[in-house]
Structure formats: structure tokens, C-alpha cells
A = this chain, B = another copy of it.
Amino acid sequence: MKKINISNKTPHVIRWVEDFKYKVWDRVVNCLTGMRPSGRLHLWHFKWALENWLLMQDTQNIKNNFLIADYQVLWDHLWDTERLRSAVVNMVIDWLSVWLDPKKSNFVVQSYVPEFAELFNLLTMFTPYSVATNNPTLKDEMKKIENRWEWENSSVSLWFINYPVSQVADIMLPKWEIVPVWEDQIPHIELARKIIKKVNTMYGTSFPLPMALISETPRLVGTDGNDKMSKSLWNTIYLTATLNEIKKWVNSMYTDSWKTSVSAPWNIENHVVFKYLDIFYSDKVHLEELKKRYIEGWENSVWDWELKKLLVKILDELISPIREKREYYKNNMDLVISSIEEGSENVRKIWQELLQELKEKMWIIWYWKS
């Protein structure tokens, strides 16, 4: 196995497949991933995130920290904060149900760690206003966000302008080095590196510069063929789906091919069922054979109902154990809560210690105890 050496020369963007998978690091590195607790998880979360997390959980020399980014939901849900609590708990049940293991990784809730806010406040002092607002991802997101504020017919909240810096606070103090993100989050990682470099230079600290880990998981289309699987588009298969729900969604899947004339070679370019099989069916030899027969057509062909039946079987094999574990955890809520508490507490301890150290170097611990 190839060893990866982390040094100052390590590029700040590494790619999942070629740089990372099947390799081990030459020392233990801290990895931060996380999710916003905004609703039930679906197949897309599983393929994009959770499956990689499972892989990372068992990768040697990686200490995983799964962040429940509740502040990132809170700012936009001030009117219904009571839903946040159950959203957090439900998301953690989903995590546990796909075999994420709180003994191996830390589950940590942002709002559990008050020191987070203290560091965030300090880091805003290190960030020029112009740099904060020129972040291209932030600009894009601001455009996308509809104004839901009634007060003063106003814009996004001030928190939103600060949130890339609040992410730097998330990463910096527990010394998290690898941060799996999407391409569009790379400006945030670059901001983090700039700020952390500045702190290190000024106070002689040695906080590591984080690296973005880019996943190459192909995007999973919705059951309607839409590019994005999303709750709001009603085209998702949840990790909580029953067999009947799986059947319902798979049967509704769009199979573009039948639109062309019967004599034409079948086109599978927009065939949603095949897109799902590409991702979820592990028997690639059989899949290729099915595609070949489907494209050739006529007496040797495969019918859509056969493909759909196969997909239902595969998805149910994937989801039914998750469903079962979900039931188990719903009946054992103490395990869920303690997984959150313990992970948050672990991370908080590291955080407190490092914040104290930083504040001492900055001389903002006075004569008195803090």
C-alpha cells in the first residue's frame, strides 16, 4: 500500500480516487465531514456521503469526526427551531443505521460546543471584510437564497456573510486536516488556509492547513430523471423507505427508450433505471449483458418491468437492513443520545484545550482564570 506523506507541500485539493482510496496516511490525520440536519436522508446522501464515510471509518490512520452543522440550519429556521432538535436526532439515527460507529468516530453537534462561537468571534477579526464578501461560492449562494425575511424587506442575515468564517472555526481548533467537500466549497477551504496561516504566523501556533478532499461519486439523478435528487422535488427514495415505497418510486421511473421507434436501436442515455443500476448494481458483468440485450432489442430484449423488478430487489437489499437498524435505534434512544453526547464531549475537550492555548498566545487570558 502506498503511503501518503503530509507536508506543507501537499496540495490543498486532493481527489478521492487517485490520491486517497486504497492508500494510508503516514500518521493519524483528523478528518471532518458533516451534514446539515435539514431532513430525512435519502439514497443520494448514502452514495455521496455515507458510503464514503463508512470506507473512511475503517481506513487506517484516519480519525473521523462527523459534524452535525445545526447552526447552518438554524439561521434560516428561526421561526421553527423546535424542528431542529428532532432533525438532529433523526439524522443521527440514519447515521447509526448505515453502520457508522460512534466508538470509531465522533458525532459532534456544533451548538454543543460554545467554544466554537468564541473562536468564530476571534477569527472574524483576522478576515478582511472584502475577502469575506468576495468569496465566489458565497456570492452564488446569496443569489440563490430567496429572501424569507419580513423585517425591512431584507436580505440574508448577517450570519450568512460570516458563515464561511464560522466553517473555519469548525475546522481549525480540533485540528481537522482533511475536509471532504464538493468542488464549490474549495473557496471556503482556501479561506480557511489563509486565516489559519495568518494565525500561525502571528502567534507561533501550528494549526494544520486543511485539505479539501474531492469525491468523484457521480451525481445520482432523481426518480423522475431530474439531475438532482431532492426532497423538495418529490423524487427521492429515503433510507427509511418500505418495500412498497421502493416499488412505487422505482415503478414511476422514467424509461426514455420507448419513445423512439421500435425498429431503432434502443437508447438508454436517459434511462433512469439503468442509471440507478449503474450505481447500485454490483454485478457489472450482468449489467453490461442486460444493457447489450436492451439496446439490441427484439426477441432477445429485456423488458422495463424486469429491470425495475431487479432494481427494487437491489434497493430493498440495501435499504431493508438499514430500516431494521433504524427500528432498533428508535427503540433505544439512549444509544442515539449518548452517541451524540460522547462525540460532542470528546471534541469539546480538544477544543477547550486548544482555545485556551490560543487565547494565552493572544494574551486574552488575563491574570484571572478563565
Residues of A within 8 A of B (CB): 70-71, 74-75, 78-79, 81-82, 84-85, 88-89, 109, 111-112, 114-118, 120-121, 124-132, 149, 151-152, 154-162, 165-166, 194, 198, 202, 337, 340-341, 344, 359, 362-364, 366-368, 370
- CB-CB under 8 A for A84 and B118, given A156-B129, A202-B78: no
The closest CB in chain B to the CB of A202 belongs to B78
Q: Shortest distance in angstroms between A355's beta carbon and chain B's nearest beta carbon?
A: 9
A149 to B161, CA, bound (A): 20
As for how many copies of this chain the complex holds, the number is 2
Query: Which residues on the B side are within 8 Å of A120 (C-beta)?
Result: 117, 121
Instruction: Give me 8 A-to-B residue pairs in the complex whose CB atoms sit less than 8 angstroms apart, sorted by A's number.
Output: A85-B367, A89-B367, A111-B366, A114-B115, A117-B117, A125-B159, A130-B155, A131-B151
- CB-CB under 8 A for A121 and B71, given A129-B157, A340-B366: yes
Q: Which of B160, B337, B344 sits near A129, CB closer than 8 Å?
A: B160
- CB-CB under 8 A for A85 and B363, given A128-B156, A129-B156: yes
Q: Shortest distance in angstroms between A142's beta carbon and chain B's nearest beta carbon?
A: 8
Q: Which of B84, B116, B364 sits near A363, CB closer than 8 Å?
A: B84
Query: Which residues on the B side are within 8 Å of A160 (C-beta)?
Result: 129
A111 to B121, CA, bound (A): 10
Query: Which residues on the B side are within 8 Å of A111 (C-beta)?
Result: 359, 364, 366
Q: Which of B114, B128, B132, B149 sits near A128, CB closer than 8 Å?
A: B149
The closest CB in chain B to the CB of A169 belongs to B121
Q: Shortest distance in angstroms between A359's beta carbon and chain B's nearest beta carbon?
A: 8
- CB-CB under 8 A for A363 and B114, given A71-B121, A75-B125, A158-B124: no
Are A84 and B364 in touch, CB under 8 angstroms?
yes
Are B114 and A129 in touch, CB under 8 angstroms?
no
Are B126 and A157 in touch, CB under 8 angstroms?
yes
Query: Which residues on the B side are within 8 Å of A75 (C-beta)?
Result: 124-125
Query: Which residues on the B side are within 8 Å of A124 (C-beta)?
Result: 75, 157-159, 162
| Pairs A-B, 7 closest by C-beta atoms | A128-B154, A117-B121, A124-B159, A75-B125, A117-B118, A130-B155, A125-B159
